[in-house]
A and B are shown apart, each in its own frame.
Chain A
């Protein structure tokens, strides 16, 4: 059980897909203009990455290593299509606001990377947990970015006003340049946080 928790938790901070590994940045900037969009994208990715890890791990012993990448891609594309159809059926508005980025989940480097690095070498359960942890780390990062951008750029959070009434929304945060600059500072922040965790661990004499 402790082993599983370790696999799950590393995706959250230490190997956070967006801030530390710097993979799958495109959606992190494109759909984080509001918290709702960020959450929808995060959940979709979590679903795809954990399901794909599960599938890859189950078939890992039957797949010839030479054709493994096309097989992974087909599996990812199938799962993404399922998510697309589900969202289109149950929440057309969300489907519209995520737009092309939903189809582009197929080519997220993080999903292929987890399949290749982890799921192709491990049993189904740990692989699923690894995918789920990475997905949660991704969702967490999306939520942080989405919340900051919505509060500063629109003065609202989840659609409710949170800033004082004379607050002038900084439009730049909703637009492209603000997203780049904000992520730059968040990456730096995570670097400081990770250094801190490492220092605490070495002080306690644990190996990282």
Chain B
């Protein structure tokens, strides 16, 4: 039990995907202008990572490994995730239109995104068991949500600030992310797996 808890915490704060492994930056900088959108995006990413990691784990261990097709991992995972996200979008649209209104646009953005592809690849690379993959995926998703919500809150404050003209927009957002990463650095080495 402690093992899983440590794995979860390490995925959330110590090895935070955005701030220490630099995955999912396009969404991170694109969406964090707005706090509400960031909350929606964080939830959508967590859901998609969790489910697609489960699928990816099953496909890798039950299809690719027995057939010795490991070199096709990248292609298979990309297609798997892209089609799964499309399917999810249709299902959500059909059964919960309200949720679709909130999430719809994000789902398509997520379809080809490094954080969603990165987690299953890391799970496979580290030979995680099914439960461990699941815990790692949920942790990574929560970590992403945490980072993007923090960033969005910071950027809302930034609107009132007087920023040099050339740094406006993306430039200052990067420097802000640097400061955020610096504070997350305090967690490093706290959990050793």
Contacts and interface: CB of A to CB of B under 8 A. Distances in A.
Interface string B129-166: 00000000000000000000000000000000000101
A188 B170 CA distance: 8
Contact of A107 (B78, B167, B172, B181): B78
Contacts of B192: none
A172 to B, nearest CB: 8
Interface stretch (B22-30, B41-49, B58-66): B22-30
A100 B122 contact: yes
Contacts, number: 118
Contact of B79 (A70, A180, A185): A70
A81 B179 contact: no
A29 B122 contact: no
Contacts of B21: 30
B22 A26 contact: yes
B171 A191 contact: yes
B190 to A, nearest CB: 16
B37 interface: no
Nearest to B173: A184
Interface residues of B, number: 41
Contacts of B24: 26
B79 A81 contact: no
A59 interface: no
Contacts of A14: none
Contacts of A198: none
B142 to A, nearest CB: 19
B117 interface: yes
Contacts of A27: 22
Interface string A74-110: 1001101100110000000000000010011011110
Given A26-B23, A106-B117, A177-B181, 15 more contacts: A22-B26, A22-B29, A26-B24, A26-B26, A30-B23, A70-B83, A73-B82, A104-B121, A180-B174, A181-B178, A184-B173, A184-B177, A187-B171, A188-B164, A195-B166
List of 10 A-B pairs having minimum Cβ-Cβ separation, nearest first:
A184-B174, A180-B178, A181-B178, A184-B175, A188-B171, A177-B182, A77-B75, A177-B181, A25-B25, A30-B22
